[in-house]
Structures are given as structure tokens and as C-alpha cells.
């Protein structure tokens, strides 16, 4: 009886939805500016685009959130705003290190679009972040530290909880920055968190070892897209 029952559900596409009823996919910052040749290129950033498109089309997750890095011109994270500083250097800002970046994801420019080669129909929510001039925002859940020393919420945790989401799977860019900050915050906010490793890429691959170590230490699962069904 139980075998028949199991087989029945394994063959039923609805079973996938039931299994993932309490899980959400967060697609982080898959935007042209983070692709090779873009303003802030991630290493092999384009390699994840087809896989994310397929994952979204397969409708594995009942809830899907896409984040969009979305900076005003003259954003504080841009090295161009800090005399004598170069991109990828860090400066102290509000008591915390702030890496300075090339100008990227400037609102309403083509580089800030949700990647045009992905069918975004499955996205329930598009969350823009980094749109306050004086604060950077890596995580989907909270901005970076602001002038008052606080990290303001984006409201995403509440949005997910009201939809009965208990665990999140993160894909996108960059593995060592916005993806990492997103899953760390998810964990701190009480969600179980997973990184779909093959559907992420870093700004620089030299960071991968440290990223893996951080995820392992925190108990954040590293999974692969082939295992998602």
C-alpha cells in the first residue's frame, strides 16, 4: 500500500508542488551588468542563465522571488563617488567595510534589466534593492548598515512568512556577495537556507573556498540543480 502510494505521488506533478509548498526560490541579481562584458562582470556569470531559465519554466517552486540591483546615479557604493579610490577597494563606511564597485545597475539602464534571456513569468515578486543613495544593499532581506548603524529590512521575510515559506533556495549573482548575504540573512531570520551552487557564480573565483567554508560553518546546504525536482 505505501509503495503504491509513493509511486503514485512520485509520478504526479502536483507532488513536486506539495514537496516544495514551504520552499521559495530566490533568484538574485541576474542582470546584464553582472555578465561578462558588463559593468560589474561576474566570473562566468552567463553560464547560469540557461539553467535558471529552465528551473523557472519547470515551476519546481511554488514561490519565486527575483531581486534586481537598482542603484540611483551617484550611489555611495560607486568608486567614482570617492575621490582617489578605485573599484574593488574597501573603505570604512558607517563603521563597516564598504567595497567600492564600478558604476553598475544604474536605474533604467539596459544593464539593470532582469536578464532578457530568462522567462520571468514564474516570478511572484521582483524586489529592487540598493535604491537608497547612501546605503548599499546586498541581501534580499536587509540593506547593508546605514548611517544610523541599522540594517533596514526589505520586508521580504514577512512576505515569505505570510506565504508559509520556511526554507529558501538561492541562485544567481554574485555567489560571494549578494547570494551569500541573502542566505546568511535568511538563516538569521529563521529560514532553512540552501545555495544551488551550479546556478551561482562569484565576482572572483578566488573567493569560492571562503564562501564554501562560510556556508558549511553556518549549516547552509550546498545543493545542485539536478537534485531539484
Cell of 142: 536587509
- Examine the residue annotation and report whether 221 is marked as an active-site residue of this protein: no
Interaction mask 2-41, Zn ion, x per CB under 5 A: ----------------------------------------
What are the cell numbers at 86?
578605485
Q: Does 103 bind Zn ion (CB under 5 A)?
A: no
Subset of 132-161 contacting ligand VGL (CB under 6 A): none
CA–CA distance, 19 with 60 (Å, rounded to integer) = 9
Q: How far is CA 182 from CA 66, 81, 117, 154, 189, in A?
A: 12, 26, 24, 11, 10
Q: How do strand 63-69 and strand 125-129 relate by DSSP bridges?
A: parallel
Decide whether 170 or 177 has the Cβ nearer to ligand VGL.
Answer: 177
Per CB under 6 A, does 127 bind ligand VGL? Answer: no
Which residue in 127, 153, 155, 128 sits closest to 142, CA to CA? 153
**Contact indicator for 142, 153 with CB cutoff of 8 Å:** yes
186 interface partner picked from ligand VGL, Zn ion, none, CB below 5 to 8 A per type: none
Residue choice 78, 101, 191, 197 for contact with ligand VGL (CB under 6 A): 101
Is 129 labeled as catalytic in the residue annotation? Answer: yes
Query: Which residue is associated with the grid cell 551550479?
Result: 198
Among 135, 177, 195, 199, binds ligand VGL (CB under 6 A): 177
Identified binder of Zn ion from the candidate list 33, 69, 103, 143, rule CB under 5 A: 69
Q: Are 125 and 162 a contacting pair, CB within 8 Å? A: no
Q: Provide the minimum distance between the beta carbon of 174 and Zn ion in the complex, in angstroms, as a whole number.
A: 9
By CB under 6 A, tell whether 46 contacts ligand VGL.
no
For residue 188, the tally of other CB atoms under 10 A from its CB is 14
H-run or E-run covering 188: helix 178-188
Nearer to Zn ion, 20 or 38 (CB): 38
Find which of Zn ion, ligand VGL, none residue 173 binds, CB within 5 to 8 Å per kind: ligand VGL
178: annotated active-site residue: yes
Looking at 33, 103, 178, 185, which residue is catalytic? 178
183 part of the interface to ligand VGL, by CB under 6 A: no
What is the Cα 34 distance to its own chain's centre?
12
Binding site residues, ligand VGL, CB under 6 A: 29, 69, 101, 173-174, 177-178
As annotated, the active-site residues are 29, 129, 178
Amino acid at each position: 500500500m505505501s509503495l503504491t502510494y509513493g509511486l503514485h505521488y512520485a509520478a504526479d506533478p502536483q507532488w513536486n508542488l506539495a514537496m516544495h509548498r514551504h520552499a521559495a526560490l530566490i533568484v538574485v541579481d541576474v542582470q546584464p551588468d553582472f555578465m561578462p562584458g558588463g559593468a560589474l562582470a561576474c566570473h562566468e556569470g552567463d553560464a547560469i542563465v540557461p539553467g535558471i531559465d529552465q528551473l523557472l519554466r519547470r515551476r519546481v517552486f511554488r514561490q519565486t522571488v527575483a531581486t534586481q540591483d537598482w542603484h540611483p546615479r551617484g550611489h555611495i557604493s560607486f568608486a567614482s563617488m570617492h575621490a582617489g579610490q578605485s573599484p574593488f577597494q574597501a573603505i570604512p563606511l558607517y563603521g563597516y567595510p564598504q567595497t567600492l564597485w564600478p558604476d553598475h545597475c544604474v536605474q533604467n539602464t539596459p544593464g539593470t534589466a532582469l536578464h532578457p534571456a530568462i522567462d520571468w513569468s514564474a516570478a511572484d515578486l521582483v524586489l529592487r534593492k540598493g535604491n537608497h543613495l547612501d546605503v548599499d544593499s546586498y541581501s534580499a532581506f536587509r540593506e547593508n548598515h546605514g548611517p544610523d548603524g541599522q540594517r533596514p529590512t526589505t520586508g521580504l521575510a514577512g512576505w515569505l512568512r505570510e506565504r508559509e515559506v520556511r526554507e529558501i533556495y538561492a541562485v544567481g549573482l554574485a555567489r560571494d556577495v549578494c547570494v551569500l548575504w541573502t542566505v546568511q540573512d535568511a538563516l538569521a531570520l529563521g529560514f532553512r537556507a540552501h545555495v544551488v551552487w551550479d546556478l551561482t557564480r562569484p565576482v572572483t573565483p578566488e573567493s569560492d573556498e571562503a564562501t564554501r567554508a562560510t556556508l558549511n560553518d553556518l549549516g547552509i546546504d550546498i545543493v545542485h540543480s539536478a537534485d531539484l525536482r
